Amino acid sequence: MSGAHVSLLPVDDGLLDLLDTPTASPAWPGFPDARRPALSVVTTPESADRAGGPAGEADPFVRQVIDAACERLLRARTELDAADQHVGDGDLGSALARGARAWLDDPGEGDAASLLQELSARCRRAIGGTSGPLYGMLLLRAAQALADGASWGDALRAGVTGVRELGGAQPGDGTMVDALQPAADAADSGIDAVVTAAREGAARTSDAVATKGRASYLGERAKGYEDPGATAVVMWLEAVREAMSQQ
Ligand code: ADP
Ligand code: MG
């Protein structure tokens, strides 16, 4: 997440000597002198995992649908951050908005599979936290399935299976999987059924005690709050439906 972290450490001379001991560790760049702390800037290697270029014919329809989903998540930033304050660390809206911005500032091109693969790479890089890798996985598996000729329903199911493998969450654990899995199950019945199933699944998270993610630290106290990750899924699925109806 973005933000600042302050750690307070009671020290004595012995500990200060240890803190001043030179080290080549990248995670602890050390200070010139712990008695006079200075700011250190650590540069992290930029992951160069840009997806391959467009494979098939450009698909402007899918591109518009992705744009619409991203625009919806940009608008939802404050709302989702506020919802995440109840059960998490209050950054989900900002995190997903970073992903949406990374796409909208420079939308990808190509066929449906290439678009999803590029979106996956952007999400992985821009969102961070827990959601970044999970959305990266969702979109990558869906892209791979589409490239192999799968239907949209099978692509969504492949993506959700990937999210479950990576995060280890099952339906009922109080995460975005509670919206994604019912949506995937309903995928052959059309987008209206998908949105309805996701919305019902998300609503159920407010009755459950979360067993995955930060909300699980709260136990019973997270009850009564819908999981914001599940809410976000409903939001972008609604945007997908709206964009599809305008075609
Ligand atoms: P964090 O701040 O904990 O890194 P994010 O803010 O990026 O997480 O995302 C929080 C959302 O991620 C939760 O609302 C939940 O829907 C989802 N989530 C958390 N853990 C898991 C998991 N293990 N599997 C699937 N989804 C998860
Ligand atoms: Mg968070």
pLDDT in tens, 191-227: 999 999 999 999 999 987 778 887 787 777 777 899 9
Query: Smallest Cα–Cα separation from 94: which of 160, 3, 159, 178?
Result: 3
Q: What is the pLDDT of residue 54?
A: 46
**Number of independent structural domains in the chain:** 1
- How high is the pLDDT of residue 39? 57
pLDDT at residue 56 above 80? Answer: no
**Straight-line distance from the first to the last Cα atom of the chain, in angstroms, rounded to the nearest whole number:** 36
> Per the domain annotation, does 45 fall within a domain?
no
Residue 24 pLDDT more than 60? yes
The answer as to whether 2 is a domain residue is: no
Ligand at shortest distance from the CA of 213 = 1
Residue nearest atom 14 of ligand 1, based on CA coordinates? 229
Ligand 1 atom index nearest CA of 178: 16
User: Does residue 11 sit within a domain?
Assistant: no
Q: Which ligand 1 atom is nearest residue 127's CA?
A: 7
Q: What whole-number percentage of the chain has pLDDT above 70?
A: 88
Answer whether residue 4 is part of any domain.
no
The preferred substitution site among 77, 175, 235 for testing ligand 1, maximizing ligand atoms within 8 Å of CB, is: 175
| Residue whose CA lies nearest to ligand 1 atom number 15 | 175
Q: Tens of pLDDT along 93-143?
A: 999 999 999 999 999 999 999 999 999 999 999 999 999 999 999 999 999
Is the confidence at residue 238, as pLDDT, over 50? Answer: yes
Q: Whose CA is nearest to atom 9 of ligand 1?
A: 131
Question: Residue 157's domain is classified under what CATH number?
Answer: 1.25.40.340
Coil vs helix vs strand at 50:
coil
Q: When comparing pLDDT for 246 and 56, which is higher?
A: 246
Q: Enumerate residues lining ligand 1, CB below 6 A.
A: 1, 84, 88-89, 91-92, 95, 129-131, 134, 163, 167-169, 175-177, 212-214, 227-230
Mean per-residue pLDDT, 4-18: 87
Compare 33 and 224 and report the one with higher pLDDT.
224
214 alpha carbon, closest ligand: 1
Of 155, 161, 153, 157, the closest CA to residue 190 belongs to: 153
User: Residue 57: which pLDDT band, with cuts at 50, 70 and 90?
Assistant: confident
Does residue 116 lie within any of the structural domains?
Answer: yes
Best CA proximity match to 145, nearest among 160, 133, 132, 135: 160
Protein residue with its CA nearest to atom 24 in ligand 1: 167
The answer to whether residue 36 sits within a structural domain is: no
Pick the more confident residue, 102 or 49.
102
Within 10 angstroms of residue 44's Cβ, the number of other Cβ atoms is 6
User: Is residue 241 in some structural domain?
Assistant: yes
Residue 188, domain member (yes or no): yes
Q: Which ligand is nearest to the CA of 162?
A: 1
Range of the domain at 91: 57-245
Query: Residue 52 — very low, low, confident or very high, per pLDDT cuts 50/70/90?
Result: very low
